[in-house]
Structure 1
Amino acid sequence: MREFSLPALYEVPADGNLTDLIRRNAAQHPDVAVMGRKVNGAWQDVTAAAFLAEVRAAAKGLIASGVQPGDRVGLMSRTRYEWTLLDFAIWSAGAVTVPVYETSSAEQIQWILGDSGAVACLVESPTHEATVESVRDRLPELENIWQIERDAIARLQAAGAGITDDEVEARSALADADSPATIVYTSGTTGRPKGCVLSHRSFFAECGNIVERLRPLFRTGDSSVLLFLPIAHVFGRLVQIAAVMAPIKLGHAPDIKNLTDDLASFRPTLVLGVPRVFEKVYNSARAKAQADGKGKIFDKAADIAIAYSRALDAPEGPAFGLKLKYKVFDRLVYSKLRAVLGGRATHAISGGAPLGDRLGHFYRGIGFTVLEGYGLTESCAATAFNPWDRQKIGSVGQPLPGSVVRIADDGEVLLHGEHLFTEYWNNPSATKEALSDGWFHTGDLGTLDEDGYLAITGRKKEILVTAGGKNVAPAVIEDRIRAHALIAECMVVGDGRPFIGALVTLDEEFLPRWAEEHGHPADVTPSQVAEDPELLAAVQRAIDDGNAAVSKAESVRKFRILPTQFTEESGHVTPSLKLKRNVVAKDFAEEIEAIYRSPHVVG
């Protein structure tokens, strides 16, 4: 057993709650822009004083409409300014926010709103409202639905005209640090989502220590962050609250398809994302360079960036010749890549899955350091992250200051700290199973090095055991294979089988480029090229790269290219893009069987 901890850098208030942050900002920085709001295609600043006024006005409407202290209020929307506004308004009314993914099905909405006992729900669009209305007869406690696109904010302001500021202040002060702030339903890869109760204390401990440890990235009046992750996900919530806590300017990007334009216009100094975003930026840039006949230059530039980053970890640093090459490629290539990310950002924080050693060094080498972290809904997002000044690429960093990470005898990662959830809503048996002797059992496997840097090696419950008795952690090889530009998703199979196989889906953005380069029409479908020798060879190269990270017994020996995608809509991934392995295994049982029907295996 091994454990590591760091002293807390932030003291959680003895009382009070998250609404104190917006009142403090308005008092101390009234004219500082704490939000960037896009109106008619242009960004407009929202000052701390103006934001507080808007929050109070919306909170008055909730109070006037009958929302009581401790009531649960659903919030279903894409990432947008109103999400943050209404989140703080719900807290200011003394209530508890229950986020709902905007892609949720009627059945999921019914479960979340029904299990939480939500008395009201704020939705974004007519489609969302219609979906909630379709299950309203099964939600006896649900009294009000407001739609953002149908003047929800204006309607709340009008409804609350008779409520005084003093009444809102009284409501805002009712919750203390240990009161529930939100119930976040874990998307879950199996079974019903569990309602994870996170207190105001959880967010204070989480965001306060992150902001203090990364203080150079959270400079009031200078720093900014563009939030494009779903705020219904706890990682997006962390970004929102940390920005308000700092405070720094927070922008919202509701449509990731417009992300490049939003980054260029908002020009954040800090970017938060998941590895797939950074993989796509790299793959798209490389594919564009190849299409322009500059593929060799790009690849050489990438190699120099990686070599330069690796040299930064050596005592002697980069050699003189390497510095010269780096300077040339910085002008030709790296500066253009940084411009794609807005031009001002020097750092990003990445979570959700490993970024990979090569990409980690590539980004640091181009002057855009990606700090990897690790966490779960139950740990209020990040429970470990790389510090800005002591990054170890390939790890997910050191524990959140004020918390403890322990590696159990069986390799499971255990957590302790104020940032942890308090319970699963209405589920004492699950709470008891997850929280034992003051430690949260994550279900993840990991290691700690001598400096307390954590590496995640797999999922305890996802370990495959081959017919030969070999234990295989799928995440290690899947992440490597998925990093290839041509691969969208990869799921390793082989539990109880003679060898490891994989189901592979093709990237919808990259496939047309590959097709044109290899004599196929750009609109070719995966099924039309699934047996193409050149495509199979390309996928095999991705498989070979993944196999290089594991032993021969753990390596993928055969794969199948699927004609479809693993998406949230298809039910094969969660909203946070984690594979629902049981669903994939059930829906593609025939394809899995086909892997093992033929006696021929690769390697």
Structure 2
Amino acid sequence: MESRTSSGRAGTRAARTIPELLLERVAATPAATAFLEPQGEGWSPVSWQQLGDRVRAAASGVRALGLRPGDRCALLSGTRLEWIVADLATLCSGGATTTIYPSSTAEDSAFIIDDSAAVLVFAENGEQVRKLASRRDALGTVKRVIVFDGAPSADGWVITLDQLMQLGREHDARDPAAHERTARSVRPSDLATLIYTSGTTGRMKGVELIHDGWIYEAEAIDTLGLLTPEDVQYLWLPLAHIFGKVLEVAQLRIGFVTAIDGRVERLVDNLPRVQPTFIAAVPRIFEKIYNRVILAAKEAGGITYAIFKWAFGVGAEVSRLRLAGRAPGGLLALKHAVASRLVFSKLQARFGGRLRFFVSGSAPLSRTIAEFFHAADVLILEGYGLTESSAATCVNLPRRYRFGTVGPPLPGTELKIAEDGEVLIRGRGVMRGYHGLPELTTEALDSEGWLHTGDLGHLEDGFLAITGRKKDLLKTSQGKYVVPSDLELRLKVTCPLVSQVLVHGNNRHFVSALISMDPESIRAWAVSREMKETSYEDLVRSPEVFGLVQECVTVLNAQLPSFASIKRFVILPQDLTVESGDLTPSMKLKRQLVEQKYRALLDELYRDAVAQL
């Protein structure tokens, strides 16, 4: 699918706030395609002018409902065009957006809405409305709920988005100048977004991000030349997460096309139709693709697997040359052309055939996986940032990348490594503070403006390498330090059937692990071996699966010092998932919660272990 904008950056350089960025984008390229939204089995284009008109109607509607400058609107929805419209309408009305994951519980949703004092809530559908209704007594500040897909309530507490926009058009007709007047009255220092950290430990914290921070992010990404007006993005990431949100403001600045659909189950079917040139994703997606490609090749066996191994051997050799700034020639170039035709082209076709690169963020990416994809001519550019730094702090670039690092800092962002190895960040993208939590704000932001990230890392020729989290660092009872995230990543790469790993051992005399298997992959593996057990619960108790995992653990341990090796492990009776509360919505492990949940299994691993080890 071909979609192009024209004169992408024209007219947006003077914008000081997100509303100004939108107004100037619409004025500069009104007829150009802004979004592609799913319609049946196809895609419907939405121009910048059409987007601007929708935002105008919704913004006038929320003002008619009584939204005042500085008020918060909560957004409880998956990724879809209506989310963008609601967000921009709120901002153009002088309000600020509070984001909530659609997977959040009723209790967590109510906490965020109450803590942020949201006066309006945009809800995706009836399921989300019922969630809110179950906690209505705790939502005292909420005047209305606006539902994207659903029906209004008899008491008027719930109205539809169509009703809101009709109200807005009527309100706008009475004072046509009000929309732009209000939008341009927003100041760079005003609150734009209140994003609650997903809470891997402790209470959720609302991170306050101002308009100027988002404008900086858009300007910096534009300056890098990473994205162009001719690009086509496929956006499926949760817009409630900082990673998705930064892509919204980058698009306003640069003017590329975005095909938007947050339904993960549509990803495989959508990519060949959209043919995106870049996609942002979290590492778990790349792990799943890697695991399935490896397993499928092994299961095929014979000549197919032999060709697969040969092709990736050639690809790895070409990858090393390219990383050294050289191009393959002669026989190697011929081999690479054959490998591309026989193997790599099939993988590239899965992504639509026009992909320039992926951008990976939100969690560490295994270097092995980055190198694997690069060998297949699929570039993954790893980046780094926090909610507290407006997402984009560092990123590798198409012509300047180093695997195993998260790239150099964005222009205008300063990095410093503290004496204890903690990464410190300073710049316009850094948060204003934690909402209503001055003590925690003081802990995170020092008097010189440095954000203390809690991440450990070091600089390599200007590239930042993240080595772990300070709070996750294990210290065994023998006084040895172990970085659990490193072991977890390496084990998942070593064993493609593994879904999640939690490495444990703080104040213990050896390192252990909780391991969950990928349900789909483990069942396919069992069927290929004609095993009688095919349910997840039966398979993880089988000696065959335990033996498979033990082999992988043994391979990993051979690469580790004795004190860091995994001496014992247990395969969990169910996978660790977002739905079960074990992972954050951005698929990060809730380490303390999982350790507490499986405390009895962990304690059992250490029972009588001193005598045996």
TM-score grouping bracket, smaller chain normalisation: over 0.9
Superposed displacement of residue 21, structure 1:
2.0
**Selected match of 2:297 from 272, 289, 292:** 289
CA contact (8 A) 1:16 1:175 kept: no
> Letter of the aligned partner of 2:104 in structure 1?
S
CA contact (8 A) 2:201 2:590 kept: yes
Q: Output one character per residue of 1:280-308: Cα deviation in whole Å (capped at 9) or x when no partner.
A: 22222333334444233223322322222
The two structures, once aligned, show a CA RMSD in angstroms of 2.2
Greater shift, 546-555 or 165-174, is seen at 546-555
SS at match of 2:609: coil
Q: Match for residue 128 of structure 2?
A: 128
Q: Output one character per residue of 1:191-226: Cα deviation in whole Å (capped at 9) or x when no partner.
A: 2110000111111112221232134xx222x21111
**Selected match of 2:178 from 167, 178, 196:** 167
> Letter of the aligned partner of 2:89 in structure 1?
A
CA contact (8 A) 1:195 1:425 kept: yes
Q: Match for residue 7 of structure 1?
A: none
CA contact (8 A) 1:558 1:602 kept: no
Q: Match for residue 50 of structure 1?
A: 50
Q: Match for residue 26 of structure 1?
A: 26
Q: In 1, Cα distance between the equivalents of 2:336 and 2:378?
A: 14
Matched, 1:584 2:594: yes
SS at match of 2:140: coil
Q: Match for residue 347 of structure 1?
A: 357
* Cα distance, 1:296–1:600 mapped onto 2, change above 3 Å: farther
Identity %: 36
Q: In 2, Cα distance between the equivalents of 1:266 and 1:522?
A: 40
**Selected match of 2:471 from 461, 464, 474:** 461
Superposed displacement of residue 598, structure 1:
5.0
SS at match of 2:604: helix
Matched, 1:427 2:444: no
Superposed displacement of residue 238, structure 1:
1.1
Residues 518-557 of structure 1 mapped to structure 2, 5 A cutoff = 518-521=529-532, 523-525=534-536, 527-547=537-557, 550-557=560-567
> Letter of the aligned partner of 1:102 in structure 2?
P
Superposed displacement of residue 357, structure 1:
2.1
SS at match of 2:478: coil
SS at match of 2:520: coil
CA contact (8 A) 2:234 2:258 kept: yes
Q: Output one character per residue of 1:143-196: Cα deviation in whole Å (capped at 9) or x when no partner.
A: 110110037331111111122331111111122111111000000111211000
CA contact (8 A) 2:284 2:587 kept: no
Superposed displacement of residue 546, structure 1:
4.1
SS at match of 1:421: coil
Superposed displacement of residue 535, structure 1:
1.9
Q: In 1, Cα distance between the equivalents of 2:405 and 2:346?
A: 28
Superposed displacement of residue 317, structure 1:
4.4
Greater shift, 205-214 or 571-580, is seen at 205-214
> Letter of the aligned partner of 1:214 in structure 2?
G
> TM-score scaled by structure 1?
0.94
Q: In 1, Cα distance between the equivalents of 2:148 and 2:608?
A: 55
Higher RCO (C-alpha 8 Å, min separation 6): 1
Q: In 2, Cα distance between the equivalents of 1:541 and 1:522?
A: 21
**Selected match of 1:515 from 526, 530, 546:** 526
CA contact (8 A) 2:37 2:261 kept: no
Q: Match for residue 87 of structure 1?
A: 87
CA contact (8 A) 2:15 2:24 kept: no
CA contact (8 A) 2:533 2:539 kept: no
Q: Output one character per residue of 1:398-430: Cα deviation in whole Å (capped at 9) or x when no partner.
A: 111111111100000110000111110111111
Q: Match for residue 370 of structure 1?
A: 380
Q: In 1, Cα distance between the equivalents of 2:119 and 2:211?
A: 21
CA contact (8 A) 2:16 2:215 kept: no
Q: Output one character per residue of 1:26-59: Cα deviation in whole Å (capped at 9) or x when no partner.
A: 2111111011111122101111111111110111
Q: Match for residue 471 of structure 1?
A: 481
Q: Match for residue 416 of structure 1?
A: 426
Matched, 1:192 2:206: no
Superposed displacement of residue 523, structure 1:
3.3
Superposed displacement of residue 576, structure 1:
1.1
SS at match of 1:488: strand
**Selected match of 2:239 from 214, 231, 235:** 231
> Letter of the aligned partner of 2:17 in structure 1?
N
Greater shift, 339-348 or 22-31, is seen at 22-31
Q: Match for residue 501 of structure 1?
A: 512
Q: Match for residue 9 of structure 1?
A: none
> Letter of the aligned partner of 2:530 in structure 1?
G
Q: Match for residue 410 of structure 2?
A: 400
Superposed displacement of residue 333, structure 1:
1.1
> Letter of the aligned partner of 2:513 in structure 1?
A
Q: Output one character per residue of 1:77-125: Cα deviation in whole Å (capped at 9) or x when no partner.
A: 0111111111111111111000110011111011100000000100001
Superposed displacement of residue 600, structure 1:
8.7
**Selected match of 1:593 from 594, 603, 611:** 603
Q: In 1, Cα distance between the equivalents of 2:307 and 2:535?
A: 29
CA contact (8 A) 1:512 1:521 kept: no
Q: In 1, Cα distance between the equivalents of 2:254 and 2:196?
A: 27
**Selected match of 1:487 from 481, 498, 507:** 498
Superposed displacement of residue 531, structure 1:
4.5
CA contact (8 A) 1:346 1:367 kept: no
Q: In 2, Cα distance between the equivalents of 1:156 and 1:601?
A: 70
Q: Match for residue 3 of structure 2?
A: none
Q: In 2, Cα distance between the equivalents of 1:13 and 1:550?
A: 51
> Letter of the aligned partner of 1:200 in structure 2?
H
Q: Match for residue 146 of structure 2?
A: 146
CA contact (8 A) 1:557 1:601 kept: no
CA contact (8 A) 1:376 1:382 kept: yes
Q: In 2, Cα distance between the equivalents of 1:555 and 1:325?
A: 39
**Selected match of 1:274 from 279, 282, 287:** 282
CA contact (8 A) 1:477 1:547 kept: no
SS at match of 1:510: helix
* Cα distance, 1:261–1:155 mapped onto 2, change above 3 Å: same
> TM-score scaled by structure 2?
0.92
Superposed displacement of residue 14, structure 1:
8.1
Q: In 1, Cα distance between the equivalents of 2:73 and 2:119?
A: 6
CA contact (8 A) 1:515 1:524 kept: no
CA contact (8 A) 1:412 1:446 kept: yes
